[in-house]
Amino acid sequence: MKEKYIEDLKEIKEIMNRSTRFISLSGLSGVSTGIIALTGAFVAHQSFFKDQGYLVYNAVDISHDRMVHLLLIALGTLILSIGSAFYFTHRKTKMRNESILNQQTKELLINLLIPLTTGGLLCLILLFKGFVGLLPPLTLIFYGLALVNGSKYTLPEIRNLGLIEISIGLLAIQFIGYGLVFWAFGFGVMQIVYGLIVQKKYQQ
């Protein structure tokens, strides 16, 4: 009787979690976005940051062509990351016979987009003013804030990842000359580690 009572409680808890959280995030989406981020960081280093003194606290002079080049790398990395995350998450929701467009998804996206949009606009303003060195740390920090802000609507591991990204971003500000390395570690390595943990834990 006691065991049945415990099982019933577990089932009730699971139902409540499903009704308040979007839990169909795929670990493979974390792995794929991490790989894309590492590729983007490598391309940015080879074509933009290599042998250039851009990773500093002060504003630097950037030609229009180089600024457009950096924006294209960033935009390409962002589009590919969002696309891969959507693909693997959508695939998982179909396997679980769930809808990707529900109230939990909307709440998650809203809470993610507020910090991400704010950080994105701030980074664009700083880029146009020449403060390139601040971009890697700030993107990490605002991404971390977005994850923490949206974590209550999805997997609990998201909050921990967000706190780690914020910490890496702060370190990147302290050691500004290694900003791109920290960016690759935060958006690349940590995303892959998070994805593998989620993949194994939830057996997706």
Amino acid 100: pLDDT: 66
d(CA 152, CA 155): 8
Please tell me the pTM assigned to this model. Answer: 0.84
In which residue ranges of the chain is pLDDT below 50? 8, 12-20
Amino acid 21: pLDDT: 53
* 191 found inside a domain: yes
Element (DSSP H or E) covering residue 149: helix 135-150
Structurally, how many domains does the chain consist of? 1
Amino acid 15: pLDDT: 44
Amino acid 12: pLDDT: 45
- Domain residue limits at 137: 25-202
With tokens 């994850």, the residue in question is 147
* 34 found inside a domain: yes
Amino acid 23: pLDDT: 54
pLDDT tens digits for range 28-77:
888 999 999 999 999 999 989 988 889 999 999 988 899 999 999 999 99
Copy the structure tokens of residue 47: 């074509």
* 160 found inside a domain: yes
Strand, coil or helix: what is 155? coil
* 61 found inside a domain: yes
Angle formed at CA 55 by CA 77 and CA 159, multiple of 5 degrees = 55
* 8 found inside a domain: no
Which residues 6+ apart lie within 8 Å of 66 measured at CB?
48
d(CA 123, CA 184): 17
d(CA 57, CA 52): 14
Nearest CA among 143, 148, 149 for reference residue 119: 143
* 6 found inside a domain: no
d(CA 139, CA 168): 11
* 119 found inside a domain: yes
* 179 found inside a domain: yes
Buried b or exposed e, range 10-39, using 16+ CB within 10 angstroms: eeeeeeeeeeebbbbbbbbbbbbbbbbbbe
Sign of CA dihedral 101, 87, 188, 179: negative
Q: Judging by beta carbons within 10 Å of its beta carbon (0-12, 13-18, 19+), is residue 65 exposed, middle or buried?
A: exposed
d(CA 68, CA 66): 5
